[in-house]
Structure 1
């Protein structure tokens, strides 16, 4: 399935609505479809060519954050929308139900020991999925996890190890026999379990959810978002210059 992308500092980001993203992920005719979230934690690594290559091997790299949306629009995107994984993961699950008339089988890998199990209980209670495999994200050797995935063969695998670790882990270990759809999901398990709270809707709608997140865990997150703000401004000016220069060369 062809996608329309825009280049942000070497990352090929999906230029489409959140609904079209969900539709593309669920209705892909590939044996394995991968979708990686790009947010400030990832854009801060834009100079790492290995990481960019890993991201660009995914079928979808989507704008999970207002900074990515802004940079995409500066780069020429016409349809890009903010697509927080905490929202579209639910949409993917329910789109799958609608398409196949059954709950998807799901695997959750990542987080501290016990967190994926708590997230699985929430998905089961809400009737969103049949969770067939869970494991934490602190295995040195991935063989145990891969064996578990190969045996359970979920429709959808959510990998919540934080970026860039979750992208590298997925790219290195997951093949078509492990799952049909793989999505990186960052801290989604923490939101599912209630350990972290979403920002109020008004803050979400105006792109200030990051402020809310910092307020809940400043020691862990302040550096990511401060550096992300600097990186965003830097890349914005870089993109404006490159597009202006390209137009003058025509």
Structure 2
């Protein structure tokens, strides 16, 4: 499934499910190839047309999956179905791939306490995991600035081969491409709040709400001041995206959604 924009940039959801994504990660680790993983959701879809740097970074990602039920619904409407693969659900599986490949990992997130607790929790969940680096950028973090370059050098020195980025969109996606291009054997995964869920700094929606496809409501109610407007803006683009998805049904090559 594809999302195409007026300037010609194209974002392709090219991993239909978690198994396919992890198989591609495994192959890239084995071949010492870099990669960048993005997990697209409605918030991203709303921002992409408005932010050229975000859009072009997103289009440069190697592996993209659907992090949001509306994206899954759009894919079904386009007759190019993909499964839900939330970024937070990828954290532990990616760490297991790192252990299987015998490579260390890095965690880049919002604050030192959350990162330390997430690293400890990951070591419990994934025996044998080596966390070679944790780093919390300053605020506001400029992914194209001097601190971005410093983090890249820290990653290079650490030897990490998978780096989880939990610094929020669009910063994490923009930094992922810059760092992937600078570090030719390292993979980057933008996983949003995944590390904060592990550390306990944020509480994830109960399983029953996730199964009912209502995790968005849980998150909005947990922080309405920050998220209510974001979700409202996201919902306004869905009718137009649904029309574009419908038009994809008759195009086997999967152009614009």
1:63–1:84 Cα contact (<8 Å) kept: yes
1:190-223 per-position Cα deviation (integer Å, ceiling 9, x unaligned): 1011121222222212321111111211111111
2:79 is matched with: 76
1:11-69, Cα deviation, whole Å (9 max, x unpaired): 21125122111221222235202111111221111314443321121111110111111
Name the residue aligned to 1:225.
Answer: 231
- How many Å separate the matches in 1 of 2:16 and 2:193? 23
Coordinate RMSD, CA, aligned: 2.3
The SS at the match of 2:229 is helix
Return the alpha-carbon distance in structure 1 between the equivalents of residues 250 and 86 of structure 2: 33
Residue in 1 that maps onto 2:148: 142
Relative to structure 1, the CA distance from residue 244 to residue 160 in structure 2 (aligned partners, 3 Å threshold; closer, same or farther) is closer
> Structure 2 regions of 5+ residues with no counterpart?
5-9, 253-257
Distance (whole Å) between structure 2 residues aligned to residue 32 and residue 127 of structure 1: 23
- In structure 1, the residue matched to 2:241 is 235
Matched, 1:7 2:2: yes
Deviations, residues 98-127 of structure 1 (Å, cap 9, x unaligned): x43x4x411111213432222212212333
Whole-Å Cα distance in 2 between the matches of residues 205 and 11 of structure 1? Answer: 27
**Is residue 153 from structure 1 mapped to residue 147 from structure 2 by the alignment?**
no
Distance 1:25 1:201, change over 3 A: same
Q: 1:144 to 1:203 in 2, by over 3 A?
A: same
Deviation of 1:152 (Å): 0.3
Higher RCO (C-alpha 8 Å, min separation 6):
2
What TM-score do the two structures reach when normalised by structure 1?
A: 0.85
Once residues 243 and 61 of structure 2 are traced to their aligned partners in structure 1, the CA distance between those partners, rounded to angstroms, is 27
Q: Decide whether the 8 Å contact of 1:39 with 1:65 is kept in 2.
A: yes
What runs of 5+ residues in structure 1 fail to find an aligned partner? Answer: 1-5
Q: Following TM superposition, by how much is the alpha carbon of 1:137 offset from its aligned partner in structure 2, in angstroms?
A: 2.8
Q: Name the CA distance, whole Å, in 2 between partners of 1:127 and 1:41.
A: 31
